[in-house]
Structure 1
Amino acid sequence: MSSNFDKFQKRRLISSYFSVVLSVFLVLFLLGILGLFIINSKKLADDFKEKIAMTVFFKNEANDTIIKAFDTEMRTVKFAKSFVYVSKEKAAKEHTDIIGEDFLTFLGENPLQNSFDIHLKADYVERDSIAKIETRLRKNAMVSDIVYDKQLVNLVNDNIKKVSMWILIISGFLTVIAVLLINSSLRLSIHSNRFIIKTMQMVGATKSFIRKPFVTRSIKLGMIGAGLAILALIGVLIYLETSFPDLGIMEDKLLIGLVLLGVFGLGVLITWLSTYFATQRFLNLRTDDLY
Protein backbone atom coordinates (compact mmCIF):
# COMPACT_ATOMS: atom_id res chain seq x y z
CA MET A 1 0.00 0.00 0.00
CA SER A 2 2.84 2.33 0.92
CA SER A 3 4.58 1.47 -2.34
CA ASN A 4 1.50 2.45 -4.36
CA PHE A 5 1.21 5.69 -2.45
CA ASP A 6 4.88 6.49 -3.09
CA LYS A 7 4.40 5.83 -6.80
CA PHE A 8 1.36 8.08 -6.82
CA GLN A 9 3.28 10.85 -5.07
CA LYS A 10 6.17 10.46 -7.50
CA ARG A 11 3.86 10.65 -10.53
CA ARG A 12 2.15 13.73 -9.10
CA LEU A 13 5.53 15.34 -8.43
CA ILE A 14 6.74 14.64 -11.97
CA SER A 15 3.46 15.97 -13.37
CA SER A 16 3.86 19.13 -11.29
CA TYR A 17 7.43 19.64 -12.51
CA PHE A 18 6.38 19.01 -16.11
CA SER A 19 3.57 21.58 -15.92
CA VAL A 20 5.96 24.21 -14.53
CA VAL A 21 8.59 23.55 -17.21
CA LEU A 22 5.93 23.55 -19.95
CA SER A 23 4.36 26.81 -18.79
CA VAL A 24 7.79 28.47 -18.51
CA PHE A 25 8.78 27.19 -21.96
CA LEU A 26 5.59 28.30 -23.74
CA VAL A 27 5.49 31.73 -22.13
CA LEU A 28 9.18 32.49 -22.66
CA PHE A 29 9.03 31.17 -26.23
CA LEU A 30 6.19 33.57 -27.06
CA LEU A 31 7.98 36.45 -25.36
CA GLY A 32 11.17 35.55 -27.23
CA ILE A 33 9.31 35.53 -30.57
CA LEU A 34 7.88 38.92 -29.72
CA GLY A 35 11.34 40.22 -28.76
CA LEU A 36 12.85 38.98 -32.03
CA PHE A 37 9.99 40.56 -33.95
CA ILE A 38 10.55 43.90 -32.20
CA ILE A 39 14.28 44.02 -32.98
CA ASN A 40 13.60 43.04 -36.60
CA SER A 41 10.51 45.21 -37.10
CA LYS A 42 12.62 48.34 -37.74
CA LYS A 43 14.79 46.41 -40.17
CA LEU A 44 11.71 45.14 -42.02
CA ALA A 45 10.17 48.62 -42.05
CA ASP A 46 13.43 50.16 -43.29
CA ASP A 47 13.73 47.49 -45.98
CA PHE A 48 10.23 48.30 -47.20
CA LYS A 49 10.93 52.05 -47.16
CA GLU A 50 14.13 51.62 -49.16
CA LYS A 51 12.23 49.82 -51.92
CA ILE A 52 10.25 52.99 -52.69
CA ALA A 53 11.96 54.56 -55.71
CA MET A 54 12.26 58.23 -56.60
CA THR A 55 12.60 58.70 -60.36
CA VAL A 56 14.40 61.80 -61.62
CA PHE A 57 13.73 62.57 -65.32
CA PHE A 58 16.11 64.68 -67.38
CA LYS A 59 15.33 66.95 -70.28
CA ASN A 60 16.35 65.84 -73.77
CA GLU A 61 18.91 68.66 -73.80
CA ALA A 62 20.86 66.99 -70.96
CA ASN A 63 24.11 65.68 -72.47
CA ASP A 64 26.46 62.96 -71.20
CA THR A 65 28.47 65.46 -69.16
CA ILE A 66 25.39 66.49 -67.16
CA ILE A 67 24.35 62.86 -66.67
CA LYS A 68 27.83 61.93 -65.43
CA ALA A 69 27.89 64.95 -63.09
CA PHE A 70 24.57 63.87 -61.57
CA ASP A 71 25.89 60.32 -61.24
CA THR A 72 28.93 61.64 -59.36
CA GLU A 73 26.71 63.74 -57.10
CA MET A 74 24.57 60.71 -56.17
CA ARG A 75 27.69 58.82 -55.13
CA THR A 76 28.54 61.49 -52.55
CA VAL A 77 25.13 62.44 -51.09
CA LYS A 78 24.06 60.95 -47.75
CA PHE A 79 20.44 60.26 -48.62
CA ALA A 80 20.94 57.84 -51.57
CA LYS A 81 21.20 54.16 -50.66
CA SER A 82 21.40 53.07 -54.30
CA PHE A 83 20.63 54.43 -57.74
CA VAL A 84 20.60 53.29 -61.34
CA TYR A 85 20.71 55.21 -64.58
CA VAL A 86 17.98 54.30 -67.07
CA SER A 87 18.56 55.61 -70.59
CA LYS A 88 15.54 56.36 -72.75
CA GLU A 89 16.54 53.47 -75.04
CA LYS A 90 16.55 51.06 -72.11
CA ALA A 91 13.24 52.47 -70.87
CA ALA A 92 11.73 51.97 -74.32
CA LYS A 93 12.88 48.35 -74.39
CA GLU A 94 11.36 47.73 -70.93
CA HIS A 95 8.04 49.25 -72.06
CA THR A 96 8.10 47.08 -75.17
CA ASP A 97 8.67 43.96 -73.07
CA ILE A 98 5.78 44.92 -70.78
CA ILE A 99 3.14 45.72 -73.46
CA GLY A 100 4.35 43.04 -75.84
CA GLU A 101 4.78 45.22 -78.94
CA ASP A 102 7.17 47.89 -80.15
CA PHE A 103 5.39 51.24 -79.69
CA LEU A 104 8.24 53.08 -81.46
CA THR A 105 7.16 51.67 -84.82
CA PHE A 106 3.94 53.70 -84.91
CA LEU A 107 5.17 56.71 -82.90
CA GLY A 108 8.23 57.18 -85.09
CA GLU A 109 10.34 58.51 -82.21
CA ASN A 110 11.16 57.73 -78.60
CA PRO A 111 9.09 60.05 -76.32
CA LEU A 112 10.74 58.75 -73.14
CA GLN A 113 13.44 60.57 -71.19
CA ASN A 114 16.71 59.61 -69.56
CA SER A 115 16.22 59.07 -65.86
CA PHE A 116 17.72 57.94 -62.56
CA ASP A 117 15.88 55.57 -60.22
CA ILE A 118 17.02 56.54 -56.72
CA HIS A 119 16.34 54.44 -53.62
CA LEU A 120 16.64 56.59 -50.51
CA LYS A 121 17.95 55.47 -47.15
CA ALA A 122 15.14 54.60 -44.76
CA ASP A 123 15.79 57.58 -42.45
CA TYR A 124 15.12 59.96 -45.36
CA VAL A 125 11.83 58.36 -46.44
CA GLU A 126 9.81 60.88 -44.41
CA ARG A 127 7.48 63.66 -45.54
CA ASP A 128 9.80 66.54 -44.64
CA SER A 129 13.08 64.86 -45.62
CA ILE A 130 11.89 63.63 -48.98
CA ALA A 131 10.38 67.06 -49.75
CA LYS A 132 13.75 68.72 -49.06
CA ILE A 133 15.51 66.19 -51.29
CA GLU A 134 13.00 66.86 -54.08
CA THR A 135 13.53 70.63 -53.74
CA ARG A 136 17.30 70.16 -53.88
CA LEU A 137 17.18 67.99 -57.01
CA ARG A 138 14.78 70.34 -58.81
CA LYS A 139 17.39 73.11 -58.60
CA ASN A 140 19.19 71.28 -61.40
CA ALA A 141 18.04 73.11 -64.55
CA MET A 142 18.23 69.90 -66.62
CA VAL A 143 15.78 68.02 -64.39
CA SER A 144 12.37 67.95 -66.06
CA ASP A 145 10.38 66.08 -63.40
CA ILE A 146 10.65 64.04 -60.20
CA VAL A 147 8.17 61.24 -59.57
CA TYR A 148 7.57 59.08 -56.49
CA ASP A 149 4.54 57.68 -54.70
CA LYS A 150 3.79 60.36 -52.10
CA GLN A 151 0.68 58.60 -50.82
CA LEU A 152 2.63 55.38 -50.28
CA VAL A 153 5.35 57.26 -48.33
CA ASN A 154 2.73 58.85 -46.06
CA LEU A 155 0.86 55.57 -45.66
CA VAL A 156 4.00 53.61 -44.74
CA ASN A 157 5.13 56.14 -42.12
CA ASP A 158 1.68 56.43 -40.53
CA ASN A 159 1.21 52.66 -40.36
CA ILE A 160 4.69 52.05 -38.93
CA LYS A 161 3.92 54.45 -36.05
CA LYS A 162 0.61 52.70 -35.36
CA VAL A 163 2.15 49.23 -35.50
CA SER A 164 5.00 50.28 -33.18
CA MET A 165 2.51 51.58 -30.61
CA TRP A 166 0.48 48.35 -30.69
CA ILE A 167 3.64 46.24 -30.40
CA LEU A 168 4.55 48.07 -27.18
CA ILE A 169 1.03 47.56 -25.77
CA ILE A 170 0.98 43.85 -26.69
CA SER A 171 4.49 43.38 -25.27
CA GLY A 172 3.45 44.81 -21.92
CA PHE A 173 0.24 42.76 -21.90
CA LEU A 174 2.04 39.49 -22.71
CA THR A 175 4.70 40.16 -20.08
CA VAL A 176 2.02 40.52 -17.39
CA ILE A 177 0.30 37.32 -18.58
CA ALA A 178 3.66 35.52 -18.59
CA VAL A 179 4.35 36.43 -14.97
CA LEU A 180 0.83 35.43 -13.91
CA LEU A 181 0.93 32.05 -15.71
CA ILE A 182 4.32 31.03 -14.36
CA ASN A 183 3.38 32.31 -10.90
CA SER A 184 0.16 30.25 -10.92
CA SER A 185 1.99 27.05 -11.96
CA LEU A 186 4.59 27.47 -9.21
CA ARG A 187 2.01 28.30 -6.58
CA LEU A 188 0.10 25.11 -7.42
CA SER A 189 3.33 23.15 -7.18
CA ILE A 190 4.15 24.59 -3.76
CA HIS A 191 0.53 24.26 -2.59
CA SER A 192 0.88 20.46 -2.69
CA ASN A 193 3.79 20.77 -0.23
CA ARG A 194 2.10 23.17 2.19
CA PHE A 195 1.87 20.57 4.97
CA ILE A 196 5.57 19.74 4.66
CA ILE A 197 6.37 23.45 4.89
CA LYS A 198 4.28 23.90 8.00
CA THR A 199 5.67 20.71 9.63
CA MET A 200 9.26 21.90 9.09
CA GLN A 201 8.31 25.28 10.55
CA MET A 202 6.74 23.65 13.62
CA VAL A 203 9.91 21.68 14.41
CA GLY A 204 11.96 24.87 14.42
CA ALA A 205 13.30 25.27 10.87
CA THR A 206 13.87 28.89 9.84
CA LYS A 207 11.97 30.43 6.96
CA SER A 208 15.09 30.81 4.82
CA PHE A 209 16.03 27.14 5.41
CA ILE A 210 12.54 25.96 4.41
CA ARG A 211 12.40 28.27 1.42
CA LYS A 212 15.82 27.40 -0.01
CA PRO A 213 15.09 23.94 -1.53
CA PHE A 214 11.85 25.18 -3.12
CA VAL A 215 13.54 28.24 -4.63
CA THR A 216 16.48 26.16 -5.85
CA ARG A 217 14.17 23.60 -7.46
CA SER A 218 12.04 26.26 -9.12
CA ILE A 219 15.10 28.07 -10.50
CA LYS A 220 16.31 24.77 -11.99
CA LEU A 221 12.90 24.20 -13.59
CA GLY A 222 12.94 27.78 -14.86
CA MET A 223 16.39 27.24 -16.37
CA ILE A 224 15.20 24.05 -18.10
CA GLY A 225 12.11 25.81 -19.48
CA ALA A 226 14.18 28.81 -20.59
CA GLY A 227 16.77 26.53 -22.19
CA LEU A 228 14.07 24.74 -24.19
CA ALA A 229 12.61 28.11 -25.23
CA ILE A 230 16.05 29.30 -26.41
CA LEU A 231 16.56 26.12 -28.46
CA ALA A 232 13.13 26.57 -30.04
CA LEU A 233 13.88 30.24 -30.83
CA ILE A 234 17.20 29.30 -32.44
CA GLY A 235 15.34 26.73 -34.53
CA VAL A 236 12.87 29.41 -35.68
CA LEU A 237 15.73 31.78 -36.54
CA ILE A 238 17.53 29.11 -38.58
CA TYR A 239 14.32 28.27 -40.42
CA LEU A 240 13.59 31.92 -41.26
CA GLU A 241 17.19 32.56 -42.32
CA THR A 242 17.11 29.50 -44.59
CA SER A 243 13.64 30.14 -46.04
CA PHE A 244 13.86 33.94 -46.31
CA PRO A 245 17.55 34.89 -46.68
CA ASP A 246 16.69 38.36 -48.05
CA LEU A 247 15.27 39.40 -44.67
CA GLY A 248 18.69 39.15 -43.02
CA ILE A 249 17.19 37.93 -39.73
CA MET A 250 20.55 36.72 -38.40
CA GLU A 251 22.55 39.83 -39.29
CA ASP A 252 22.35 41.56 -35.90
CA LYS A 253 23.76 38.73 -33.78
CA LEU A 254 24.38 41.00 -30.77
CA LEU A 255 20.70 41.93 -30.38
CA ILE A 256 19.62 38.34 -30.99
CA GLY A 257 22.05 37.22 -28.28
CA LEU A 258 20.64 39.83 -25.89
CA VAL A 259 17.09 38.62 -26.55
CA LEU A 260 18.08 34.99 -25.88
CA LEU A 261 19.99 36.04 -22.75
CA GLY A 262 16.95 38.05 -21.65
CA VAL A 263 14.71 34.99 -22.12
CA PHE A 264 17.02 32.91 -19.92
CA GLY A 265 17.30 35.65 -17.28
CA LEU A 266 13.54 36.20 -17.27
CA GLY A 267 12.95 32.48 -16.73
CA VAL A 268 15.23 32.47 -13.68
CA LEU A 269 13.93 35.77 -12.28
CA ILE A 270 10.21 34.99 -12.57
CA THR A 271 10.54 31.49 -11.06
CA TRP A 272 12.68 32.81 -8.20
CA LEU A 273 10.31 35.66 -7.31
CA SER A 274 7.17 33.53 -7.72
CA THR A 275 8.53 30.74 -5.51
CA TYR A 276 9.80 33.18 -2.90
CA PHE A 277 6.42 34.87 -2.44
CA ALA A 278 4.45 31.60 -2.72
CA THR A 279 6.48 29.91 0.04
CA GLN A 280 6.31 33.08 2.12
CA ARG A 281 2.53 32.96 1.89
CA PHE A 282 2.33 29.42 3.26
CA LEU A 283 4.95 30.17 5.92
CA ASN A 284 2.77 32.99 7.22
CA LEU A 285 -0.43 30.91 7.27
CA ARG A 286 -1.81 29.49 10.48
CA THR A 287 -2.10 25.70 10.68
CA ASP A 288 -5.92 25.85 10.56
CA ASP A 289 -5.80 27.90 7.33
CA LEU A 290 -3.93 25.10 5.52
CA TYR A 291 -7.16 23.14 5.28
Structure 2
Amino acid sequence: LAVASIDRAPASRHARILAAVPLSEEDALAAGSALLATRMDASIDKGVLRATRTRSLGAIPLSSSPARALGDEEATALVAQHLASRGLGELGWGKEASSLRERMRALHNAFGEPWPDVSDEALAGSAHQWLAPWGRRLASGTPLSQVSMLDVLRSLLPWPEAARLDELAPEKLPIPSGGTRPIDWSGAHPVLTLRVQQAFGWTDTPRLLDGRVPLVLHLTDPAGRPAAVTSDLTSFWAGPYRDVRAQLRGRYPKHPWPEDPLHAEPTNRAKRRS
Protein backbone atom coordinates (compact mmCIF):
# COMPACT_ATOMS: atom_id res chain seq x y z
CA LEU A 1 0.00 0.00 0.00
CA ALA A 2 0.99 3.56 -0.69
CA VAL A 3 -0.46 5.41 2.30
CA ALA A 4 -1.48 9.03 1.81
CA SER A 5 -3.12 9.73 5.17
CA ILE A 6 -3.30 8.11 8.60
CA ASP A 7 -4.93 8.99 11.89
CA ARG A 8 -3.69 8.09 15.38
CA ALA A 9 -5.20 9.12 18.69
CA PRO A 10 -2.86 10.68 21.30
CA ALA A 11 -0.95 8.07 23.36
CA SER A 12 -2.34 5.28 21.17
CA ARG A 13 -0.08 2.57 19.78
CA HIS A 14 -2.39 2.01 16.83
CA ALA A 15 -3.13 4.07 13.73
CA ARG A 16 -5.91 4.06 11.16
CA ILE A 17 -5.28 4.40 7.44
CA LEU A 18 -7.53 7.07 5.96
CA ALA A 19 -6.32 7.04 2.35
CA ALA A 20 -4.17 4.53 0.44
CA VAL A 21 -3.82 2.80 -2.92
CA PRO A 22 -2.43 -0.68 -3.61
CA LEU A 23 1.05 -1.04 -5.13
CA SER A 24 2.47 -3.92 -7.12
CA GLU A 25 5.67 -5.50 -5.81
CA GLU A 26 7.55 -4.09 -8.78
CA ASP A 27 6.35 -0.54 -8.04
CA ALA A 28 7.06 -0.94 -4.31
CA LEU A 29 10.62 -2.07 -4.99
CA ALA A 30 11.19 0.79 -7.40
CA ALA A 31 9.78 3.37 -5.00
CA GLY A 32 11.68 2.01 -2.00
CA SER A 33 14.93 1.04 -3.69
CA ALA A 34 16.91 3.05 -1.12
CA LEU A 35 15.46 0.81 1.62
CA LEU A 36 16.46 -2.50 0.01
CA ALA A 37 18.94 -4.45 2.14
CA THR A 38 20.30 -7.97 2.53
CA ARG A 39 21.06 -9.30 6.01
CA MET A 40 22.83 -12.48 7.06
CA ASP A 41 21.65 -14.15 10.26
CA ALA A 42 23.61 -17.18 11.41
CA SER A 43 23.99 -19.30 14.50
CA ILE A 44 25.52 -22.59 15.55
CA ASP A 45 22.70 -24.86 16.65
CA LYS A 46 23.79 -28.18 18.20
CA GLY A 47 27.14 -27.88 16.47
CA VAL A 48 25.73 -27.18 13.00
CA LEU A 49 25.94 -23.89 11.11
CA ARG A 50 22.46 -22.64 10.39
CA ALA A 51 22.31 -19.40 8.44
CA THR A 52 19.59 -17.44 6.70
CA ARG A 53 20.12 -14.71 4.13
CA THR A 54 17.17 -12.28 4.31
CA ARG A 55 16.38 -9.64 1.69
CA SER A 56 14.13 -6.90 3.01
CA LEU A 57 12.48 -3.64 2.07
CA GLY A 58 12.88 -1.59 5.18
CA ALA A 59 11.29 -3.70 7.93
CA ILE A 60 9.44 -5.91 5.42
CA PRO A 61 11.18 -9.26 4.70
CA LEU A 62 10.99 -10.15 1.00
CA SER A 63 12.87 -13.43 0.70
CA SER A 64 15.28 -15.72 2.53
CA SER A 65 17.68 -18.51 1.59
CA PRO A 66 19.13 -21.30 3.78
CA ALA A 67 22.75 -22.02 4.73
CA ARG A 68 23.48 -23.99 1.57
CA ALA A 69 23.46 -20.70 -0.29
CA LEU A 70 26.41 -19.47 1.77
CA GLY A 71 29.77 -19.16 0.08
CA ASP A 72 32.75 -21.06 1.45
CA GLU A 73 34.40 -17.90 2.76
CA GLU A 74 31.19 -16.72 4.42
CA ALA A 75 30.74 -20.05 6.20
CA THR A 76 34.36 -20.07 7.32
CA ALA A 77 34.11 -16.53 8.66
CA LEU A 78 30.89 -17.24 10.56
CA VAL A 79 32.27 -20.38 12.20
CA ALA A 80 35.56 -18.65 13.03
CA GLN A 81 33.61 -15.87 14.74
CA HIS A 82 31.64 -18.47 16.70
CA LEU A 83 34.83 -20.24 17.83
CA ALA A 84 36.37 -16.96 18.93
CA SER A 85 33.49 -16.36 21.33
CA ARG A 86 32.58 -19.91 22.35
CA GLY A 87 35.87 -21.80 22.30
CA LEU A 88 37.05 -24.89 20.43
CA GLY A 89 35.24 -27.59 22.39
CA GLU A 90 32.67 -28.37 19.68
CA LEU A 91 35.33 -29.39 17.17
CA GLY A 92 36.49 -32.94 16.47
CA TRP A 93 38.98 -33.46 19.28
CA GLY A 94 39.91 -37.12 19.62
CA LYS A 95 42.57 -38.64 21.85
CA GLU A 96 45.13 -38.65 19.05
CA ALA A 97 44.50 -34.99 18.19
CA SER A 98 44.74 -33.92 21.84
CA SER A 99 48.02 -35.83 22.22
CA LEU A 100 49.53 -34.23 19.12
CA ARG A 101 48.42 -30.80 20.32
CA GLU A 102 50.15 -31.30 23.69
CA ARG A 103 53.38 -32.31 21.95
CA MET A 104 53.20 -29.30 19.63
CA ARG A 105 52.57 -27.04 22.61
CA ALA A 106 55.71 -28.38 24.30
CA LEU A 107 57.74 -27.82 21.14
CA HIS A 108 56.49 -24.24 20.78
CA ASN A 109 57.27 -23.52 24.44
CA ALA A 110 60.78 -24.94 24.06
CA PHE A 111 61.77 -23.62 20.64
CA GLY A 112 59.25 -20.97 19.58
CA GLU A 113 58.96 -20.47 15.84
CA PRO A 114 58.60 -22.22 13.47
CA TRP A 115 56.67 -24.53 15.82
CA PRO A 116 53.18 -22.95 15.93
CA ASP A 117 51.32 -21.72 18.98
CA VAL A 118 48.39 -24.12 19.40
CA SER A 119 46.79 -22.56 22.48
CA ASP A 120 43.04 -21.93 22.42
CA GLU A 121 43.64 -18.23 21.83
CA ALA A 122 46.06 -18.77 18.95
CA LEU A 123 43.94 -21.41 17.22
CA ALA A 124 40.79 -19.31 17.56
CA GLY A 125 42.64 -16.29 16.20
CA SER A 126 43.78 -18.15 13.08
CA ALA A 127 40.60 -20.22 12.60
CA HIS A 128 39.69 -18.40 9.38
CA GLN A 129 42.86 -19.86 7.85
CA TRP A 130 42.81 -23.49 9.00
CA LEU A 131 39.02 -23.73 8.61
CA ALA A 132 39.21 -22.67 4.94
CA PRO A 133 39.38 -26.26 3.57
CA TRP A 134 36.21 -27.03 5.53
CA GLY A 135 34.20 -24.04 4.30
CA ARG A 136 32.06 -25.85 1.75
CA ARG A 137 31.23 -28.72 4.10
CA LEU A 138 30.36 -26.37 6.95
CA ALA A 139 28.09 -24.36 4.65
CA SER A 140 26.35 -27.60 3.69
CA GLY A 141 25.59 -28.51 7.29
CA THR A 142 28.55 -30.64 8.32
CA PRO A 143 28.69 -30.57 12.16
CA LEU A 144 31.66 -28.91 13.84
CA SER A 145 32.35 -32.23 15.55
CA GLN A 146 33.38 -33.63 12.16
CA VAL A 147 36.11 -31.04 11.68
CA SER A 148 39.12 -33.29 12.27
CA MET A 149 41.48 -31.38 14.51
CA LEU A 150 44.07 -34.11 13.94
CA ASP A 151 44.12 -33.17 10.25
CA VAL A 152 44.13 -29.47 11.14
CA LEU A 153 47.10 -29.82 13.49
CA ARG A 154 49.02 -31.92 10.98
CA SER A 155 48.50 -29.17 8.41
CA LEU A 156 50.06 -26.67 10.85
CA LEU A 157 53.26 -28.66 11.37
CA PRO A 158 56.29 -26.79 10.01
CA TRP A 159 58.46 -28.50 7.44
CA PRO A 160 61.21 -29.67 7.32
CA GLU A 161 61.34 -29.28 11.13
CA ALA A 162 58.34 -31.59 11.56
CA ALA A 163 60.46 -34.52 10.40
CA ARG A 164 61.97 -34.45 13.91
CA LEU A 165 58.64 -34.48 15.75
CA ASP A 166 58.98 -38.04 17.05
CA GLU A 167 62.62 -37.47 17.95
CA LEU A 168 62.09 -34.22 19.86
CA ALA A 169 58.71 -34.94 21.45
CA PRO A 170 58.04 -38.68 21.15
CA GLU A 171 54.57 -40.06 21.75
CA LYS A 172 55.98 -43.10 23.58
CA LEU A 173 59.30 -44.56 24.71
CA PRO A 174 60.69 -48.09 25.11
CA ILE A 175 61.15 -49.25 28.71
CA PRO A 176 63.71 -51.73 30.12
CA SER A 177 61.19 -54.54 30.67
CA GLY A 178 60.19 -54.50 27.00
CA GLY A 179 57.53 -52.76 24.98
CA THR A 180 56.74 -49.05 25.13
CA ARG A 181 54.87 -46.69 27.42
CA PRO A 182 53.05 -43.49 26.41
CA ILE A 183 54.36 -40.09 27.45
CA ASP A 184 51.92 -37.63 28.98
CA TRP A 185 52.70 -34.17 27.59
CA SER A 186 49.71 -32.41 29.16
CA GLY A 187 51.56 -30.88 32.11
CA ALA A 188 54.54 -28.61 32.58
CA HIS A 189 56.93 -31.57 32.10
CA PRO A 190 56.61 -34.79 30.09
CA VAL A 191 55.67 -37.76 32.28
CA LEU A 192 56.07 -41.50 31.77
CA THR A 193 54.39 -43.89 34.21
CA LEU A 194 55.62 -47.44 34.87
CA ARG A 195 55.96 -49.91 37.72
CA VAL A 196 59.15 -49.92 39.78
CA GLN A 197 59.95 -53.46 38.59
CA GLN A 198 59.77 -52.36 34.94
CA ALA A 199 62.56 -49.83 35.54
CA PHE A 200 65.20 -52.08 37.16
CA GLY A 201 68.63 -51.40 35.66
CA TRP A 202 67.57 -48.11 34.07
CA THR A 203 70.00 -45.36 35.03
CA ASP A 204 70.03 -42.87 32.17
CA THR A 205 66.88 -40.81 32.56
CA PRO A 206 65.89 -39.63 29.06
CA ARG A 207 65.98 -35.94 28.21
CA LEU A 208 63.56 -34.73 25.58
CA LEU A 209 63.12 -31.65 23.39
CA ASP A 210 66.71 -31.87 22.17
CA GLY A 211 67.99 -32.48 25.70
CA ARG A 212 66.33 -29.41 27.19
CA VAL A 213 63.77 -31.14 29.42
CA PRO A 214 64.20 -34.24 31.61
CA LEU A 215 61.53 -36.92 31.45
CA VAL A 216 59.71 -37.23 34.78
CA LEU A 217 59.13 -40.85 35.79
CA HIS A 218 56.10 -41.74 37.89
CA LEU A 219 57.02 -45.08 39.46
CA THR A 220 54.14 -47.12 40.82
CA ASP A 221 53.61 -50.19 42.97
CA PRO A 222 52.34 -53.42 41.31
CA ALA A 223 48.75 -52.20 41.75
CA GLY A 224 49.48 -49.00 39.84
CA ARG A 225 49.44 -46.71 42.87
CA PRO A 226 52.10 -43.96 43.12
CA ALA A 227 55.34 -45.06 44.78
CA ALA A 228 57.87 -42.41 43.73
CA VAL A 229 58.50 -39.56 41.30
CA THR A 230 61.94 -38.89 39.88
CA SER A 231 63.79 -37.35 36.98
CA ASP A 232 67.12 -38.77 38.23
CA LEU A 233 67.07 -42.57 38.28
CA THR A 234 70.66 -42.94 39.47
CA SER A 235 69.90 -40.94 42.61
CA PHE A 236 66.60 -42.77 43.11
CA TRP A 237 68.18 -46.23 43.08
CA ALA A 238 70.93 -45.06 45.44
CA GLY A 239 68.59 -43.63 48.07
CA PRO A 240 64.79 -43.33 47.96
CA TYR A 241 64.39 -46.83 46.49
CA ARG A 242 65.37 -48.32 49.85
CA ASP A 243 62.40 -46.64 51.52
CA VAL A 244 60.06 -47.72 48.72
CA ARG A 245 61.33 -51.30 49.02
CA ALA A 246 60.89 -51.31 52.80
CA GLN A 247 57.33 -50.04 52.53
CA LEU A 248 56.13 -52.27 49.70
CA ARG A 249 57.92 -55.62 49.69
CA GLY A 250 55.76 -56.93 52.54
CA ARG A 251 52.60 -55.74 50.82
CA TYR A 252 53.58 -57.28 47.47
CA PRO A 253 55.68 -60.36 48.30
CA LYS A 254 54.99 -61.97 44.92
CA HIS A 255 56.91 -59.19 43.16
CA PRO A 256 60.69 -58.75 43.16
CA TRP A 257 62.22 -56.10 45.43
CA PRO A 258 65.97 -56.67 45.01
CA GLU A 259 68.53 -54.96 47.21
CA ASP A 260 70.52 -54.12 44.07
CA PRO A 261 67.98 -52.80 41.52
CA LEU A 262 70.73 -51.54 39.22
CA HIS A 263 71.72 -55.10 38.33
CA ALA A 264 68.29 -56.74 38.61
CA GLU A 265 66.38 -57.90 35.57
CA PRO A 266 63.47 -55.58 34.72
CA THR A 267 60.18 -57.42 34.51
CA ASN A 268 56.49 -57.01 33.73
CA ARG A 269 55.58 -60.03 35.84
CA ALA A 270 55.52 -61.24 39.42
CA LYS A 271 58.15 -63.67 40.72
CA ARG A 272 58.25 -67.07 39.12
CA ARG A 273 56.84 -69.81 41.27
CA SER A 274 59.50 -72.13 42.65
Which category of TM-score, normalised to the shorter sequence, fits these structures? under 0.3
TM-score, structure 1 as length reference: 0.22
TM-score, structure 2 as length reference: 0.23
Higher relative contact order (CA 8 A, sep 6+): 1
